[in-house]
A and B are shown apart, each in its own frame.
Chain A
Amino acid sequence: DADVTQTPRNRITKTGKRIMLECSQTKGHDRMYWYRQDPGLGLRLIYYSFDVKDINKGEISDGYSVSRQAQAKFSLSLESAIPNQTALYFCATSVGGDLGRETQYFGPGTRLLVL
């Protein structure tokens, strides 16, 4: 079984719709992240959470919100989807410590198309 799972894997939606992407992990990591990948831009951080009561904005948080329902679950919501949110979305986890030399582990991604 995968350590970091994302649902759905693919989603097509229409402009203005609300959509939620979900991430679950069995790694027992305290830190979780949401990224989006666009061609030619690499991965950009949307939001991150270091524990259940901690939520932080990343570099491109506008138009997105998140919820950390439990240590193992971190959801990303698009309140009113727009076409330029069409992208590949990745969830990642890590464990803090190790003097900041932590490795992030990624889920398989969700491909989102906003029409």
Chain B
Amino acid sequence: DQQVKQNSPSLSVQEGRISILNCDYTNSMFDYFLWYKKYPAEGPTFLISISSIKDKNEDGRFTVFLNKSAKHLSLHIVPSQPGDSAVYFCAAKETSGSRLTFGEGTQLTVNP
């Protein structure tokens, strides 16, 4: 039972354009969401998070949107840069709990 799903295994965009990565979840108890970025031969690194009391959180070029009614979140990267090419993981947890549940990951490729 995959509680966090990233339905697009890969995404390719042109440098300077917007990248939109999507994530859906099924567990209505999840109330804290994170995005991680992973380069080859490295561990995942934290990118941005959002609490369910918000519907948007912005940090520089990165913005995460949360639609609780649709159980959907998205990560927007504007403008996309070649250095953003990596695997992006969506993760979710209940703040009353102890575990992160990860999606499958989306490979983003930003072409120069």
Contacts and interface: CB of A to CB of B under 8 A. Distances in A.
Nearest to A45: B99
Nearest to B34: A103
Contact residues on B (Cβ < 8 Å of other chain), bracket: 20 to 34
B100 A45 contact: yes
Contacts of B95: 99-101
Given A40-B9, A42-B105, A104 B42 contact: no
Contacts of A35: 102
B97 interface: yes
Contacts of B49: 101, 103
Contact of A58 (B32, B89, B99): B99
A107 B32 contact: no
B102 A42 contact: yes
A106 interface: yes
Interface residues of A, number: 25
B98 A41 contact: no
B42 A44 contact: no
B45 interface: yes
B45 to A, nearest CB: 7
18 contacts: A40-B9, A41-B104, A42-B4, A42-B89, A42-B103, A42-B105, A45-B99, A50-B98, A100-B32, A100-B96, A101-B51, A101-B95, A103-B46, A104-B100, A107-B43, A108-B42, A108-B43, A109-B42
